[in-house]
Structures are given as structure tokens and as C-alpha cells.
Amino acid sequence: MTTPLNERRIANAIRVLAMDAVQKANSGHPGAPMGMADIADVVWREFMNHNPTNPNWANRDRFVLSNGHGSMLQYALLHLTGYDLSIEDLKAFRQLHSKTPGHPELGYAPGIETTTGPLGQGIANAVGFALAEKTLAAQFNKDDIQVVDHFTYCFLGDGCLMEGVSHEACSLAGTLGLGKLIAYYDDNGISIDGEVEGWFSDDTEQRFLAYGWQVIKVDGHDADAIRQATLEAKAETAKPTIIICKTVIGLGSPNKQGKEDSHGAPLGHDEIVLTREALGWTDEAFVIPEDVYAAWDAKAKGAESEAAWNETFAAYAAKYPTEAAEFKRRLSGELPADFVAKADAYIAEVNAKAETIATRKASQNALQALVPLLPEVLGGSADLAGSNLTLWKGAQGVQDNPAGNYVHYGVREFGMTAIANGVALHGGFIPYVATFLMFMEYARNAVRMSALMKQRVIHVYTHDSIGLGEDGPTHQPVEQIASLRGTPNLNTWRPCDTVEAAISWKSALTRAEGPTALIFSRQNLPFQTRTQAQIENAAKGGYVLAEEKGELKAIIIATGSEVSLAMEAYAQLEGVRVVSMPCAEEFMKQDAAYREAVLPSNIRARVAVEAAHVDYWWKFVGLDGRVIGMTTYGESAPAKDLFQFFGITTEAVVAAVKEITA
């Protein structure tokens, strides 16, 4: 190794902070931070272009710690380089309401770009960051002035590479030629269960070469080698780069380095004493010498970098004022001032047409009308664009045109969704991604992460029930809608016709505080006649679609394709109202008076009908009510036969209402 002693001492600041914080919390993972400290030293002090005093500077490099269990590595870096993360915050590691939770969490500490917990999703997010940077650069940069020009650096470990989502994301990154993505693989050969060679024998170098990446192998404790590798990575603009860094987990711990003992548990007081001696570190716990702080401090350099970029952007704004204004608007997350009015006008047009079509087709029509108003929309589908109907006339694939607005993700539902999270986190885009509702299951954890981080990601799911028919139970979703509705921060829309489909798209595009799932049918659904007041109330998630004839005795609640069944039953009954509830989450956000007006609490005779799992609806109908839906998996048959076989019919709704009102 050629690392000079003083540089190793600078890197050792990470090691001691990590072991001290984990020891104080009596919980955590000291091994990865100690093993990757030399890599972090080079990357953060020499290559990372960032400003600790303005963590949201638009042209900053992005950093993702995909092996997020090693969070003390990132917290130490943020503290040492000058972010608003104090030594007291490090002492509060893993404690309630601290800025330093067990895994990096978006919004807790400045400088955290994404929540990385489930292994593999961090590298997928990083692919999304790099995709967003490349596309935004192609859309805004000019030959004479570049305002988007930054790298995405990602640290990852064995666990990330074992998770299948890393294959999905990294394969696509190579195909798209994301040259500003640089990944550092902490190749320490250890996971919680011990030496990984017994269960992870992949040739990582050949794997990434096959993806189309540049691959460089180095000693992860040799600063000169890491430096040279990073320079080579930055010089390669046509391919992403993975730098395979051979490291020793827990480096510095005499008895636990290189062993699983240092992976996921405190080193222990006695071992920390020995480690300090081995590192030549004489300071007490949580004490960093001033010369080490000075070596790490990035505030002046960061302010300089941002100031230089501000000058560049000022020149850009002077020469290209329209583009500059649009760039600022998109980075702010604000929609064009006239978007809502234009969306409302489109909804009125849809209402006037009164078409009976599948809601997946209604969704495509909405895309055709609304996306041209929003250049920040970056769509995509997991190989099902022709079935999801997510392509529109102005869609251009980024594979052929880097300034495009559509990504052909291939059969990669999980990777697609995690990449979209990274795109949203980067800023400047509203991503939507699509697949069949059944295959949401493959993407489930990434959907959860977009909800956890409250990102404006739009999840489009078609073929929404047994109504897709002949493909059978493997493709017919039953429990998926309930799973989505049970996800905090996620709005789930299941519209019943063209008008509700248009309203759901408007809601998803204007909702800045979280993701939306839009669930559309394969089969045609009849248009429902509404007043203007009902159209406005539909945006509230639940509303009275059909008023009762005479005294109100019972309420039928329905969504999607089953609204037409409810309306057919309504025609045969007296004293019944039909409530369409395309988005229960949005309905529950309305004030109590509105909810009471739609679902009067004194009317206990309630029937819910939906071709999905029945359990979700009991909270709306009560134990005295009835739910008509699915309690088993589907079958392979035409849709009409399936609805009859499973008893999701007009006759069943009528019978249920008569039974509870008898």
C-alpha cells in the first residue's frame, strides 16, 4: 500500500466516529464504514462536487450509500465536511427523533439524497439519478453553456449485488450508457452469516463487463489506486463504471477485522481501546483533532464551486432566458401556472364525449392531452407499453434521443420502480412507470420506498382484476389493491370511466407530497353521467354518483368496473344511493362534514362491491354490511364468465341490499 500516513489518519476519523457511535448506541454496523473509509476519503475530499452550506444546490454531485446499514460512514462524512450535522447528532445515532437513524433516511439530515434500507435499491436509485442527469442535460445544455454536469457516486456491498434488483438496474444502466454513474463495490467478502464465498461466488467483473460497464479493480485501502481509478471512471463518458475495491471489513480492529464479528454489532469497549492503539488514534471518543477537521472541511471549496456554477447559470439565463426560467421551474417542482385550468378543461371535454372505453385507453388519452403541457414528465413501462397504453404520440425514447421523455425499461418491474424513485429524487422530472397490477408485487418494496420518501412518482397499473380473463389466476390481481391502499402516503385511484380516469391523472400530476397508484381496466367500462358538482366531488376521492329515490335506506359503494354493476342495481331498487369511491385515501382526507354527507353514519345498511379482496371494505360498510368481491384466487376464462362464477353481479348486489334492508 502506498497510502501516506497523514492521509490514513484523515481516513481514520471515519473509523473512530463509526465505532464510537455504534458503541454508544449499542447497535449498528461499524465494519463497512471502517472498511470503506479510505475510499470515502478520496471520493469525498478530492472528487465530490458539493456545498455543505447548500445541500440542495442544483448541480451538486449525488452520493448514494446503497449498503445503507453502514450509515455511520455517511454521517461521519457529512459531519466532517461541514454539513449541519453536529457531533451531538452523531452521539444520538439510532435514537428517537435523531438526525442519524440506523439507515440513511431522506429528510432527517442534510446531504442525504435518498432513503437506503433494503439492499440493492440504493444502486437502483443511483441509476435513476444518473438517468435524470443525462436526460436533463440533454434537454437544457447548449453547445456553448452547460448547466447540468454532475456525477452520481454510489457505494455498495455484497448484499446489494446479491439482490436481484441490482441486476435489473445495472443492466439497464449499461444499455443506456450512463457514463456519469460511478459505483464503488466494497468487496470485503463478508456478510452477516460469514464469508460470502459459500453463497456468493459470482464473477462480478465479468458480470458488469457483460452489462456494458467499465470495470476497474483496485486495493480499496490504496488511496493512489482509488484516485487513479476514479479519474479513469470520470474519463469514460459512454459507460458507467464500477470500481471493485478489495477491502478488509472493520479495518483497524485487531481481533475483529476481516470477520463477520465487525459487521453488525459494536466492537466492544476493550476492542475499541485496542483499535485506537492500532490506528495510532490517541483522542477520546467523539473527539476529532482540529487539523483533521481542517483537512475534511469542504465548505469553502463547495461555496466556490457553487459560485462558479451560479456565474455560468447567469450567463445561460442572459442568453437563453426561456430555458433558464423553465429549468428553475422544473427544479422547484412547481407546475406551469395554467396547468390546472387546462386539465380541468380537458376533463370537461372528456365528460362531453361520454365514451365507453377501457380505462387504460382513457389513461392513454389523458397522457396525450396532459403530458404535452408538462415537459418534466418522464414515462416508462416494463415491456408492456402496448398493453398498458402508456405511449403517447409525442413520446420519444431516451435510448434513441437522450433528450427524450420515455424509458423502455424492459421486463424489470422492481428495477424500473426503484430507478423512478431516483429520477424523482434528482429533481426536474415527474416519472410515471407502468406494468400489470399483478406485477406490482415484483415492484412492491420500491413502491413502499417512494411512499416512505413522499416522492411524486406515478405508478400505473392496468389489467386490474379478474376482468382480464383468460390469462388466469397468475395474472389476475386479488389482494394487490388492498396492499396498495394499506400503504401510508400513497394515493390509490381506481376510476370507473373516462372522467374519473382523467381526474385521477390530474390528481397524480398535481400531488407534490407523495406517490400515486393509478389502476385501470383492460375491458371497456360504460360512461357515467355526472353534473359539474359531481365532477368536482369526484376529485375528493368519493362522492354520490346516484342520489336515492325517496327516503335513504341503503348505500352501495363501488369502484372501477363494479360501479356499473352498482348503477344497474340502483335502477332496480328504491331508497338506495350509489357512492363511487375511486380513491379512498383522498376521501378520508376530506372534512368530516363532507364524509358524513356522502356516507351518513345513521345508514348502517351498506354494500361494497369490488372485484378484489373483500377485507378492505369492512371499515366502510361495518360488520352489519355486506362486501361482494373476491376471497379466493381467480380462474382462466372469459371475463363475463368469471364475474358470474365468482358472484360479482348486479343480481348479487340487489340481493345483498334487499337482505340488509329487510
Task: Calculate the CA dihedral of residues 402, 405, 410, 414 and round it to 10 degrees.
Answer: 110
Q: DSSP secondary structure string, 52-86? A: TT-TT-TTPPEEEESSGGGHHHHHHHHHHHT-S--
- Pick from 394, 393, 382: which is nearest to 432 by CA? 382
Q: DSSP secondary structure string, 297-364? A: --HHHHHHHHHHHHHHHHHHHHH-HHHHHHHHHHHHTPPPTTHHHHHHHHHHHHHHH---EEHHHHHH
Residue 413 annotated as catalytic: yes
Are 629 and 612 within 8 A, CB to CB?
yes
- Pick from 2, 79, 12: which is nearest to 277 by CA? 12
Helices 164-176/121-140 angle, 10° precision? 20
Q: How far is CA 517 from CA 424, 526, 551, 577, in A?
A: 15, 22, 36, 27
Could you tell me how far CA 195 lies from the centroid of its own chain? Answer: 32
By CB atoms closer than 10 A (0-12, 13-18, 19+), residue 315 is middle
- Pick from 391, 460, 447: which is nearest to 419 by CA? 447
Distance CA 232, CA 239 (A): 11
- Pick from 508, 505, 618: which is nearest to 557 by CA? 618
Could you tell me how far CA 166 lies from the centroid of its own chain? Answer: 15
Are 190 and 260 within 8 A, CB to CB?
yes
Are 549 and 574 within 8 A, CB to CB?
yes
Among 260, 413, 585, 610, the one annotated catalytic: 413
Query: How many residues appear in the chain?
Result: 662
Q: How do strand 357-358 and strand 524-525 relate by DSSP bridges?
A: antiparallel
Distance CA 21, CA 294 (A): 21
- Catalytic positions are 413
